[in-house]
Structure 1
């Protein structure tokens, strides 16, 4: 997953919630200007989920080079944590096309497809050593679902995208005028070059939740530090 995808992931990680059918659209703002749109649709039944998502640049970033990610994931919910089973990602950035397919068996990921092939680097990590991770979209699905009051900030996930390991964690909730907020941190752990880690390895963010008519809590706004500067996700 490229920089735009990682930026959206940095912004979106919040908390998992109840079963059902979910659809959502988020506007991505960077320095006050529209930079893209993220949408997803998901179905969950009998403890299993299937989710499809799309991240597409527009506005500020779209003026330079259009970027689009089409992603899909399946898995199960164990307690309040997703357990990944399959993940596919098709990315297009200008004329550049990339595809990744991952599977998990007993919690251990494997890279089934990675196109184009990439020359191995000294900082690369082994997929079979990333037991207990989830894919980026499963993490996003967990993040974007409505949650029960009091459960807003209960999240800690390790994420593997086929090349990199990242970690996200949220702290205690703080009451706000519209609901609650949660301070969190997204961290690059492994699979990054020394230059990438020196550029920025920790990304603090704040998630704002508001109550729904059904008495659930919904992530409606996320602000975060990114490699592009201050960014915001707003739910439509």
Structure 2
């Protein structure tokens, strides 16, 4: 695959996945135990050019949770063959642990349909649908290593639920999405101030660092040593406006081809009622 489309394929899922993980983690952080669904839209830029739009919707209660992410390529990135992805999960809580029931990731890239469905009968992951077959793209994750893992969105909900009790971004989880096995850690890194700017959030925000490491499920044409290198990202959390729920206001993460990707809050509110930032 030529470099540019390959790079956009990595964005499409989106990669680094840590970018979307940071958005979900930060958004979940400040939600009370019982809250109405919260939605937020983020524009992802590379080199000052918008390449992706991310929409997140989160519904968290004492007994259950659901998380949905929608991503689509924009601008010059879409010229290589539009890509879009919808990922959602629903699950329950067992004590402090997330117990996913059904995880679905589906979309298309360059005209190719992609769909993954996972369920957890008996508490262990089981692949129900995998299109295209994983064997064509990636080395398989050994079954023994799949056990006692959860999907990436459930893992983030679990990690952040712990963060709520301590008020810090500290924790670690192992995740499996049907194709890849990885570990994720988060740590508190203080606070940063953002000066006023047009159509952007300004103020002081909590700074959280994230690190992801691929453990298995590498692409067949990847260099394993390169794939195992840690992927680092940063999320800044704050109230979108005085008295409003805390959400991620900015996320930064590196990409293989485009340097640092920066996701910035564009609108926030309840599903169907989003308020633009800076208006």
Alignment check: 8 A CA contact 2:41 2:265 kept? yes
Identify which of 156, 164, 181 aligns with 1:165. 181
Deviation at 1:216, TM superposition (A): 5.5
Deviation at 1:162, TM superposition (A): 0.5
Deviation at 1:46, TM superposition (A): 4.0
* 3-state secondary structure, aligned to 1:176: strand
1:227 aligned onto 2:227:
no
Deviation at 1:37, TM superposition (A): 0.8
Alignment check: 8 A CA contact 1:210 1:219 kept? yes
1:174–1:24 CA distance, 2 compared to 1 (3 A): same
1:92–1:120 CA distance, 2 compared to 1 (3 A): closer
Alignment check: 8 A CA contact 2:21 2:152 kept? no
For 2:144 and 2:116, how far apart are their aligned partners in 1?
A: 16
1:180 aligned onto 2:201:
no
Deviation at 1:23, TM superposition (A): 0.9
* 3-state secondary structure, aligned to 1:82: strand
The aligned residue for residue 156 of structure 1 is 172
Alignment check: 8 A CA contact 2:99 2:123 kept? yes
RMSD: 2.9
The aligned residue for residue 110 of structure 1 is 126
Extract unaligned runs of 5+ from structure 2: 1-8, 194-203, 267-279
Alignment check: 8 A CA contact 2:16 2:231 kept? no
Deviation at 1:114, TM superposition (A): 1.0
- More helix, by proportion: 2
User: TM-score if structure 2 supplies the norm length?
Assistant: 0.72
Aligned residue pair count: 234
User: TM-score if structure 1 supplies the norm length?
Assistant: 0.84
Alignment check: 8 A CA contact 1:84 1:135 kept? yes
Deviation at 1:92, TM superposition (A): 0.3
Extract unaligned runs of 5+ from structure 1: none
My pick for the range that moved more, 126-135 or 18-27, is 126-135
